[in-house]
């Protein structure tokens, strides 16, 4: 796959369509309206080879709200198949990128039912290397080579809270183009939140999904993106731009755009308006906005920068950052000592001692991979007491 800077221009239109349940007929109707609202059909030639990049983060059942729901994927496959498109659904979850591991994710997440709606599940597990000199930070990278066969990519994400990036939605979903076992390497290459966010935006810019759709029928709040709590939200979102979609998604869950690192990075590049008021929203979002959606406030939104020449400001910034930053912590009664966290930790900051995970704080880069992939939800994102007070006041 070669980068094409003229592939599309980000549109500032987001369609928000109410959808209260995962019913195939209602889902199709909602998707058809959303695609029509953003004039998407002109971007999907008849007979095109389409890859739907779903969020299949782990082998978790649809009712956990961790993955894109198979009913929505099936409804989209019906629409595309009737246009004569060949459809492939794929993702690279955290873990081994092979038939056995990914096949289990397909089965448990229920996405295998999409095969009855004209789709093929990706079962090719090769890797390709990209050179991207236009990137801000990701000038070369390894990606899942099944994408090379696509004429176009549709990004079908899930709206969730996220320990590192505050929110997992359209921009973050394209991290699934990186083979699962390599993902920790990218966390280690880009330990700073700003750099990691820029890396994600580079992926979005390279692959250019022509349409982004978010499953927000039931989202995930709290200890997301895998160990949180399902939260009914009652809608789907669609846009030609993953970033304008994310801007509206952030509004729905009560986050300011600047507190979501990927949105802050997109804003620096001029890929989104200055505020959500600059987005052309089709649909009434006010009844759908949740003031009590439980998010993990990302550390940058709470820090005092203190990066100027004034040494007092720099010192104050460092102190404030230490007081307010979030970190992963272990809930010992849930830990079974399986070692998943130790194996996936890019900084090798976790070891298993006495049958429990132990975090070396001097090595931890706070990427929250351990929290994201712990199969027992034993790793939690914890704010300091002062950060919790800031968070509560901000919600008020």
Q: Tens digits of per-residue pLDDT, 307-321?
A: 555 665 555 455 445
Domain regions of the chain by residue span: 13-288, 302-395
383 pLDDT band, cuts 50/70/90, is: low
Which conformational region is residue 9 in: left (phi greater than 0), alpha (psi within -120 to 50 degrees), or beta?
beta
105 pLDDT band, cuts 50/70/90, is: very high
**Average pLDDT over the chain, rounded to whole?**
88
**Predicted local confidence at residue 12, as pLDDT:** 82
Assess whether pLDDT exceeds 80 at residue 388: no
299 pLDDT band, cuts 50/70/90, is: very low
Structural fold of domain 302-395 = Alpha-Beta Plaits (3.30.70)
For 13-288, which CATH superfamily applies?
Answer: LarA, N-terminal domain (3.40.50.11440)
Closest to 214 in 3D by CA, of 193, 194, 233: 233
Q: How many residues can be counted in the chain?
A: 396
Closest to 132 in 3D by CA, of 4, 314, 42, 18: 4
141 compared with 7, residue with greater pLDDT = 141
């Amino acid at each position: 796959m070669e980068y094409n800077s003229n592939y599309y221009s980000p549109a500032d239109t987001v369609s928000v369509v109410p959808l209260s349940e995962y019913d195939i007929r209602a889902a199709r109707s909602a998707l058809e309206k959303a695609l029509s609202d953003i004039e998407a059909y002109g971007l999907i030639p008849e007979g095109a080879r389409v890859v739907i990049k779903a969020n299949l983060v782990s082998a978790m059942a649809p009712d956990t709200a961790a993955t894109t729901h198979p009913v929505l994927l099936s409804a989209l496959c019906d629409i595309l198949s009737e246009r004569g498109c060949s459809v492939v659904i794929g993702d690279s979850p955290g873990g081994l990128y092979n038939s056995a591991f990914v096949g289990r994710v397909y089965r448990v997440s229920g996405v295998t039912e999409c095969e009855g709606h004209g789709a093929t599940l990706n079962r090719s597990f090769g890797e390709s290397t990209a050179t991207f000199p236009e990137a801000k930070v990701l000038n070369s990278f390894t990606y899942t080579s099944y994408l090379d066969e696509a004429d176009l990519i549709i990004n079908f994400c899930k709206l969730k809270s996220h320990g590192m990036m505050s929110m997992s939605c359209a921009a973050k979903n394209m991290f699934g183009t990186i083979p699962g076992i390599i993902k920790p390497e990218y966390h280690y290459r880009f330990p700073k939140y700003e750099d990691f966010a820029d890396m994600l935006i580079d992926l979005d810019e390279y692959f250019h999904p022509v349409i982004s759709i978010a499953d927000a029928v039931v989202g995930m709040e709290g200890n997301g993106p895998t160990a949180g709590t399902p939260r009914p939200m009652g809608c789907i979102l669609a846009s030609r731009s993953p970033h304008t979609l994310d801007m509206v998604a952030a509004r729905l869950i009560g986050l300011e755009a600047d507190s979501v690192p990927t949105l802050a990075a997109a804003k620096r590049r001029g890929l989104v308006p200055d505020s959500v008021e600059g987005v052309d929203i089709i649909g009434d979002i006010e009844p759908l906005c949740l003031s009590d959606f439980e998010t993990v406030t990302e550390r940058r939104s709470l820090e005092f920068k203190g990066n100027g020449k004034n040494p007092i400001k720099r010192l104050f910034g460092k102190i404030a950052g230490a007081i307010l930053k979030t970190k992963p912590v272990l809930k010992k009664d849930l830990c079974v000592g399986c070692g998943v966290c130790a194996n996936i930790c890019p900084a090798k900051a976790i070891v298993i001692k006495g049958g429990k995970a132990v975090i070396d704080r001097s090595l931890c880069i706070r990427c929250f991979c351990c929290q994201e992939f712990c199969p027992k939800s034993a790793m939690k994102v914890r704010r300091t007491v002062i950060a919790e007070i800031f968070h509560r006041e901000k919600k008020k």
